[in-house]
Amino acid sequence: MLDGTEFGRLFECFQRTAFRLETLDLYDVEEEREEFEAFIAGDPMPPEWSDNPWVRSMTDRGKAVARVHVLTSPLTDYLRYELAAYPGNITAGESIGIIDRADRQVTGLPDHDFWLFDDTEVYRMHYTTDGKFIGAEKLPEAATPEYLRYREIAVSHAVPFAEYWQQFQS
């Protein structure tokens, strides 16, 4: 199982594509706590929210970054915070889709998060029940076709983020 630092290094190594499926309504990220509290208080967010430098560091090198977030509305405070940051990720080049279980039921997806790098390496993400990251488990090569199918199901059923966000804000 890779810890956060070890897992973070993978984003320097992949060659072409990184895809994430997110399935939690709450992620307890130590580095986000202060910013999350500021968001809840209605304070302005930092400048990088308008163009995410982490995403930009990959897309500027010609790499594709994408995610589908499977969630359930009404949104938790954490999800409102996370989704409010997505426009800056999109500006930086990330493709983001949303599957809202309140609007549609999609079968055939796992109940856990994963990252798929270059269509060849899959890492299952492990979290505590309250959303704290435990580690990333590299899955055997034999699992890759299954996770490629998961990605295809997620992408084909996801609503583009801008469309979802417009409906949510209405």
pLDDT digits (tens, 9 = 90+) for 67-80: 999 999 999 999 99
Residue 11: predicted pLDDT: 97
Percent of the chain past pLDDT 70, that is, above it, reads 99
Q: Is the pLDDT of residue 168 over 90?
A: no
Give the pLDDT confidence of 119-155 residue by residue, as tens digits. Answer: 999 999 999 999 999 999 999 999 999 999 999 999 9
Domain around 153: 4-169
* Confidence band, pLDDT 50/70/90 cuts, at residue 170: low
Average of per-residue pLDDT across 95-99 = 98
Assess whether pLDDT exceeds 80 at residue 169: no
**Burial class of 88 by CB neighbour count within 10 A (0 to 12, 13 to 18, 19+):** buried
Paired with 125 in beta bridges are 136
pLDDT at residue number 8: 95
Q: Give the CATH number for residue 85.
A: 3.30.870.10
Reported pTM: 0.95
Instruction: Give the tens place of pLDDT for each residue, 33-60.
Output: 999 999 999 999 998 899 999 999 999 9
Residue closest to 101 by CA, chosen among 22, 166, 12: 22
- Total number of domains in the chain: 1
pLDDT at residue 158 tops 70 = yes
Cross-strand pairs, 20: 67, 115
Are 21 and 114 in contact by the 8 Å Cβ rule? The answer is: yes
Model confidence at 167: pLDDT above 90: no
